[in-house]
Amino acid sequence: MFLFTARFSLTASETETFSDGLSVERKRVKPILMASNSDMGSADFESLSSTSDVELLKRAWRNEKAAPEILPYEGDLVERAKGQIELVEGNIEDYVENGMDPLVVSLYQMDLDRTQFLLRSYLRVRLLKIEKFMFHTLKSEEAESRLSEQEKVFATKCVADLAKHFEESVLIKLRESYRSVLKQSLISEEDDMVPEPHLDTFVVSRSNSHVTLNLYEEGESHQIVEMYRGDVYFIRYKVAKGAIESGKVDLI
Amino acid sequence: MVRIQKVESFYAKLRESATSAGSENPLLIFPSSSDVDSICALKVITHILESDSIQYSCFPVSSFLEIHKYAGPGLCSSSESPVTILLINWGCHRDLKLVLKLGPKARVFVVDSHRPIHLHNLSDYNERVVVLHTDDDERQADLAYDFHVSKLANESYQRGDESDDEEEEEEEDEEEEEEEGDRPSKRRKMDDGVKLFKKLKRDYYKMGTFHGKPSGCLLFELSHFLRKNTNELLWLACVSLTDQFVHERLTDERYQAAVMELEQHINSSGNIDKVTSVTLKDGTKVRAPDCSRISYEEEPRLMLLREWNLFDSMLCSSYIATKLKTWSDNGIKKLKLLLARMGFALIECQQKFPYMNNEVKRKMKQEFDRFLPEYGLNDFYYRSFLRLHGYSSKVSAADVVYGITALLESFLGSGGSSASQQFGEAYDALSLNNLDKLQSGMQQAIKVQRAILRQGSKAITKTGCIRSGRKFRWVKVDDTIDAKYLGYPQALTKFCYFLMDALREKGARMKPILCACASQELGKILVVGVCGKPRLGAVRGNAFGNAFRKAAQESRADYFHELFESSWIVLDASAVNSFMIRLTEKL
Amino acid sequence: MMYGRKGYQLVKDFASGEKGLLKPFNSKLFDETIEECEQNHGLIQSLITKMQQEGLDVQNNRNADHYGALVHHLSLTRNKRCLMAYVHNRAEIVRDLAWRVGLVLLELPPDIQEKLTALEKDYFKNHSKAIKSYMGKLGIELNVDMVPPKDPYIKIRVVGDIDQGIMMSDKTTNFTRHSMHFLKRTDAEPYIARNQLTYPPCLIGGKI
């Protein structure tokens, strides 16, 4: 259904494909899950969809999937998405009872399915990251501050369960000076057995606005890169980290 | 049942019934596992159903009563929720409401090429059964009716006639004639009406069984109307048509007409100018690997030529084998001589066909056209369909039919692979990316054909093997090894036609022929009967249906007459001889 | 006696398995590694004792014995890392099972259950509890929908034996062997997920 393909068109139909094959089509129809301001009027489709919760959720999901470490929790967004999903579920039930054309109902259903998937995957990806780096997450203030309250509870329990498991399977069988979960031995000066996320991983990032990034650490050779809006770069996560948090750069 | 004139309204009704509110069951589809046309039709209709998001469940079946295993209680009872059922390639020629014991909540839709359609299934008053029956179908019917079938159907249904038994009616007529002398003239007029009705009914069924348009082609037309047709579906329609052709189920005229229709579709869907090669930036031309297109060409009547070699294919293909009598030494000599005359080295002809000398392959048609008429082989070439795919895959519709039929007909008895499992294999083999499955089917088909040649040669040369009676001939396949290949309906039918052709070449008078062979079930024999080939102008269809049932009943042994062709029946091994004797009396 | 050899073998044993699939717990190698650690420890102790008896400061006197003890210590820690890695990687798979297959231990396919040690089964139960608790608090099920929804409907064929009369969201159907079905993806998912871990496979999914 390609009607016009102007840049800021109201009628373009674009398909985005994510790295795991999910294809999402921006349809010409009204977005099912609306923006926070519900009066649509003759608002520009582009600007509306760029602030709609679905778009925000998509962005949060994409970033979370691509980033090697856990990102700040988007609590408000999650709550709003939950509410809207419930609302649409109810609507669909009504449509079916009122005998709406099954094809149209299935379109609404598909839209709902996709949004539900996004929300579930977002939360799941975060939990998996917590699981993967559980000891680190609770040790690092920065990481811990990014968790929701429930995630903190989850992380704490994970750590307790795994530590217990280690103790009972391995550590109890070793000599006392080697019984630490986090340290190789009493001699270790710091916790040297805690896996940490690799912040040097390369990621693909796209800039939303003009931003300047330092390619190297402070004090090292001062080389910068300037990213303009829409530019796509393949750089180390560490470099883009700050910009991602401030929303200036997205991961894809 | 309402006689639907158009395919679209049939589908509209089906759709409405399947999606009606309150239906707890998905649409239940029961395709026949006896022929390739059924699989093609299934693929086409499911493509359409899926595009309309209609949920369905599909259970392949091989006999009338199997449906009860899967259809659930809704089929027969009145208290359950409505259930919609679709039958593919079976059901037409028996009174479905009666045979399946349909309850008031069941609605059965039928797409089936078997003819004639039972009058009760056709009646407008029968709300349980809807049969797809088009104008084209009526026009193209080989054996034309010259009365209004719909009136006859309604009349028959309303009278609640349960038997379309010719002989019982004849008896009734005689009784009425006796009484007539005592009655006033008014009664006589009514009797005339009844007599006429009974006569028409007799005429309707007298013509025996035959086939209408292939279901795959019909459903392809539906997909075309709905603008949901694809090249894949078009190919399936080609295969459906070829299935009927290979198994001698239609006349040459009908085949030609259908081929022309399909060729039009092929032309208009871009198969001719499909991009077959791509030019890279530096000018290199590369064959496009994903390209797949259909073409139509003159093909020789040599089965599975591309999987075989020229010599063996000529030796075993029924068309040439029966004319040249290749089972005899003399026949083989003739064949070798023919090849020599055409300038083909014997050793070349025994190479696997794809590796055969290109020069020879190019000259083939020319030489065949020149020399074959001498041997009476006048229509060696026929118009057929090919599918070209990827770099080297080229497969003909006929070969696909042979391969898939062989896959369908390789189920074993209990413990081995079941008919439903083989249906699944055959279903897979029909899609493009399962060439090796298709090829294994083709190899199996070759084995079957060799068995046909072996047993055929034995039957023809050994006196007394083919028993000839007044009304028909019959032969039993005794060889246990070849019985493994021939103990299936289509294979055995091919064997019948082989014998018929061979006998005709010998100058024998043409008579219907029956073949018996051990089936997969221990102690049971499969019997199939053929009357003649429609292609060669047989006037009647297959007349064995009723006769089989009666003869089997009288021989007092176990019998199974629930397969989808009434000319196929399974008997106890011990009952075969007495069955044949009684059958003579019935014909 | 070898330095870190058993630990190495233990890790190799794990690595030789198929990625993501559990092999039975190799108690023999595991215990042998522990045994090796004990030996290392014993030797460290004796070397330290020896140095002490010679009146040497263990920490700062870098003589042959010192280094000898260091080598043993490093071998020991290396073995410890191997042991922990072995348990840790298996624990990772256990967590993955909870996510992908189901949160109830007894519903895991028997051939997987028999590869878990008693301790691992406890860990599985504990981790499932953690996940369930989180999902409960949020009110969202997270262990479904693992694959991005491309189509709401999916086409499947039943190849193995499944219980008859499966209840779907709004329709009942009959999953007989060799039947084919076109149904809602969400209805089919649980059977497909289970299929990935059982052999022979019960369902074939995807487009035909």
Question: Interhelix angle for B215-225 vs B231-246, to 10°?
Answer: 160
d(CA B483, CA B523): 13
- R_g (Cα) of chain A, nearest Å: 23
List, in order, residues 6 or more apart from B285 with CB less than 8 Å away: B277, B278, B279
pLDDT digits (tens, 9 = 90+) for B127-184: 889 898 876 555 544 345 556 677 777 778 887 765 544 334 443 444 444 444 444 5
Separation of alpha carbons B518 and B413, rounded Å: 12
Residue B476's CB: how many other CB atoms inside 10 A?
20
Task: Please indicate whether, in this complex, the C-beta atoms of A185 and C77 are within 8 angstroms of each other.
Answer: yes
**Half-sphere CA count of B452, side-chain side, radius 13 A:** 28
Per-residue model confidence (pLDDT) at position B175 = 43
Q: Name the residue among B249, B293, B178, B355 with its Cα closest to residue B34.
A: B249
Spell out which residues of chain B touch residue A99, defining contact as CB-CB under 8 Å: 21
3-state secondary structure of B132: strand
- Side-chain-side CA neighbours of residue C40 (13 Å): 28
Q: What is the mean pLDDT of chain A?
A: 76
Alpha helical stretches, state H, B269-414: 310-316, 318-324, 329-341, 346-349, 358-371, 397-408
Q: What residue type is assigned to position C141 of the chain?
A: E
Maximum mean pLDDT: which of A219-223, B513-517, C179-183:
B513-517
Question: SS3 helix, strand, coil % of chain A, rounded to 5?
Answer: 50, 10, 40
Closest C-alpha among B29, B1, B23, B60 to residue B417: B60
| pLDDT score at B585 | 82
CB C65 within 8 A of CB C46: no
Query: CB–CB of C178 and B46 under 8 A?
Result: no
Q: Which chains touch A (3 or more CB pairs under 8 A)?
A: B, C
pTM exceeding 0.80: no
Asked if B21 reaches chain A (Cβ–Cβ under 8 Å), the answer is yes
Which of C157, C172, C184 minimises the CB distance to B424?
C157
Q: What is the mean predicted confidence (pLDDT) over B214-223?
A: 93
Least trusted range by pLDDT, from A48-62, B57-71, B344-358, C111-125: A48-62
Place of tokens 């259970």: B59
Contacts 24+ apart (CB under 8 A), B241-244: B241/B214, B241/B216, B241/B217, B241/B397, B242/B384, B242/B385, B242/B397, B242/B398, B242/B400, B242/B401, B243/B35, B243/B36, B243/B37, B243/B40, B243/B214, B243/B216, B243/B401, B243/B405, B244/B37, B244/B113, B244/B211, B244/B214
d(CA C51, CA C57): 7
Contacts of C157 in chain B (CB under 8 A): 424
Q: Are B412 and B444 in contact (CB under 8 A)?
A: no
Answer whether residue B274 shows pLDDT above 80: no
Distances in Å between the Cα of A156 and the Cα atoms of A72, A179, C11, C34, C72 are 18, 20, 28, 29, 35
User: Using the beta-carbon criterion (under 8 Å), do A103 and B21 form an inter-chain contact?
Assistant: no
Helix (H, G, I), strand (E, B), or coil: what is residue A222?
Answer: coil
Tens digit of each residue's pLDDT (9 = 90 or more) over A54-66? 888 988 999 999 8
Q: Which domains does chain C have, with CATH numbers?
A: 5-137 (1.20.58.1030), 153-204 (3.40.5)
Per-residue model confidence (pLDDT) at position B262: 94
Contact residues of C toward A, CB < 8 A:
34, 37-38, 41, 73, 76-77, 80-81, 83-84, 87-88, 91, 95, 99, 117, 119-120, 122-123, 126-127, 129-131, 133-134, 137-145, 148-150, 152, 186
Q: What gap in Å lies between CA B256 and CA B573, rounded to an integer?
A: 42
> What is the rounded CA–CA span in Å between residue A191 and residue A189?
7
**Residues C61, B212: Cα–Cα separation, whole Å:** 103
Mean pLDDT of the residues in chain C? 80
Test C171 with B24 for CB contact under 8 angstroms: yes
State the nearest Cα–Cα gap between B23 and chain C, in angstroms: 8
What's chain B's average pLDDT? 84
Nearest CA-CA partner of C97 in C115, C75, C70:
C115
**Are residues C153 and B421, on separate chains, in Cβ contact within 8 Å?**
no
Q: Residue A219 region, left (φ>0) first, then alpha (ψ -120 to 50), else beta?
A: left
Please answer whether residues C152 and A110 qualify as being in contact, where contact means their C-beta atoms are separated by less than 8 angstroms: yes
Q: Do C145 and A164 touch (CB under 8 A)?
A: no
Is the separation of the CB atoms in A90 and A227 below 8 Å? no
Residues of B in contact with C208 (CB under 8 A): 427-428, 431
Tens of pLDDT, residues A204-247: 888 888 777 777 766 677 777 787 888 888 888 888 888 888 87
Residue type, B128: R
Contact assignment for B55 to C208 by CB distance below 8 Å: no
Longest Cα pair distance anywhere in chain A, in angstroms?
A: 74
The answer to whether A193 faces chain C, any CB pair under 8 Å, is yes
Q: Read off the pLDDT of each residue in A170-185 and give the average, rounded to a whole number.
A: 85
pLDDT in tens, B361-402: 888 888 999 999 988 888 899 999 999 887 677 899 999 999
Q: Can you read off the two tokens belonging to residue C61?
A: 């006197």
pLDDT in tens, B556-585: 888 999 999 989 999 999 989 899 989 888
What is the DSSP pairing of strand C153-158 with strand B83-88? Answer: unpaired
Domains of chain A (ranges; CATH) run 2-132 (1.20.58), 134-196 (no CATH), 198-252 (3.40.5.60)
Q: C38, C96, C134: which to substitute to probe chain A, counting the most A Cβ within 10 Å?
A: C134
Nearest to B516 by CA among B465, B463, B478: B478
pLDDT recorded at residue C194? 58
| Amino acid C167: pLDDT | 47
Any idea which residue has 């028409």 for tokens?
B200
Which pLDDT tens digit goes with each residue over B63-94?
Answer: 998 998 888 777 777 766 788 999 999 999 88
Q: Which residue of C has its CA nearest to A188?
A: C77
- Which of C87, C99, C148 is nearest residue A170 as measured by Cβ atoms? C87
Going by DSSP bridges, is the β-strand pair C203-204/C180-184 parallel, antiparallel, or unpaired?
unpaired
